[in-house]
Structure 1
């Protein structure tokens, strides 16, 4: 009888494979007491979301930028227009000079007020070739001594054409308090033969550029005079005559 055959059970291929052995000293050897945890997945990047500013604020910024731009453009246009006017018309201040000064009355009243009456002849010169000057109502001319207004009068209303010279003959009158003090100072200064007087002009005028009549401005003039005497009804010699002019809106 044939030798009995040994029957070995077939391997069960469905059984789970055993974990691979880790050799001692390998880098994957776990230290004693450490436990194995599953590896956590890397954190996902969260995209940054910026909230847009309110629409109302954006509209305000846009309106502000437009307003600033319009103002800048207007200023540039005004500057260009002024530059063109200066290049084309070449405006100059009107000039004034004092031709003669005469005192017709200078007396101390019983109430100690000082009454003065001056006769002044002035030459007004418009040096502009393309600009006319309209002298409006309200203009004045006055004579001052050491900060005290001695007398004044009104400038007449008239038109002065291009490169025109106009002669003005004006009577200035005044009555001031503290007359004895002012008269005493004038007499002391007369002894030196040099009496400083200031003649001031304040003229409201309108400038004519071709057919355009611009807004009213004020021409301010000041003439520093030195005369030799203040004797009444006698011709006074003007020893110095220096004038300056400016304009004011």
Structure 2
């Protein structure tokens, strides 16, 4: 009988150092994590970091309620002025307003008496004036509250008022006015007027009128405005005996703003 081969197990000494048969890291590969840290730092260079500047914005200012109210008020007033200006401009282009005309046609002295005791002069003038409305689409209401006076230098001789009436489009109206008044220091005043008449042959007078009117545009009646009339006259004398001649007359009619 053939001999059986005996297999003897090989005992490995677990305590003996073992030599690896193959390298842990293949050739050409980088070293493991257990390699030298200094070498790793030399090989790995981190990319530079971009630093973005941080800008701190200021917090928005809060407007107070008073400032907002002021801004709204100013804006409203500016808008209102623009609207009024546009309306006035349209009305001016449509109606083309013109200033009325005023002229003095006749002056008559019906009373011219001096009182030596009180040193006063009592006078009554009858004045004929003509008013013209040159507007084609505008009517004029002459309302109450007017005043008209006749002056010699700084002395008021007589005063009165214009009548209340309506003057239509392109209308001419003749007014007969009676004015009266009393002036102080009559002796000096009469002497000055007489010297003026003898030296120049005429007596300068000034007529002043302040007249409130209402303008009518079509069917629309506007608010009340005032006109001021100023006329300069040269008359040959101031007596009740002779007919007074007006040598020259010039009037200006303008609104009071």
Q: TM-score, normalised by structure 2?
A: 0.75
1:20-39 map, 5 Å: none
1:82 aligns with 2:103: no
1:1-249 map, 5 Å: 47-57=54-64, 60-109=66-115, 110-191=117-198, 192-249=200-257
SS where residue 80 of structure 2 aligns?
Answer: helix
Structure 1 runs, 4 residues or longer, greater than 6 Å off: none
User: CA offset at residue 124 of structure 1?
Assistant: 0.9
Higher-Rg member (1/2): 2
Aligned CA RMSD, in angstroms, stands at 2.6
Map Cα deviations across residues 173-204 of structure 1 (whole Å, 9 max, x no partner).
Answer: 01011111111111111213111101111111
User: CA offset at residue 80 of structure 1?
Assistant: 1.1
| Alignment gaps of 5+ in structure 2 | 1-33, 39-48
User: CA offset at residue 99 of structure 1?
Assistant: 0.8
When the two structures are aligned, how many residues end up with a matched partner? 214
User: CA offset at residue 48 of structure 1?
Assistant: 4.2
User: CA offset at residue 66 of structure 1?
Assistant: 3.6
| Alignment gaps of 5+ in structure 1 | 1-13, 19-41
The 3 A distance-change label for structure 1 pair 210 and 17 is closer
SS where residue 80 of structure 1 aligns?
Answer: helix
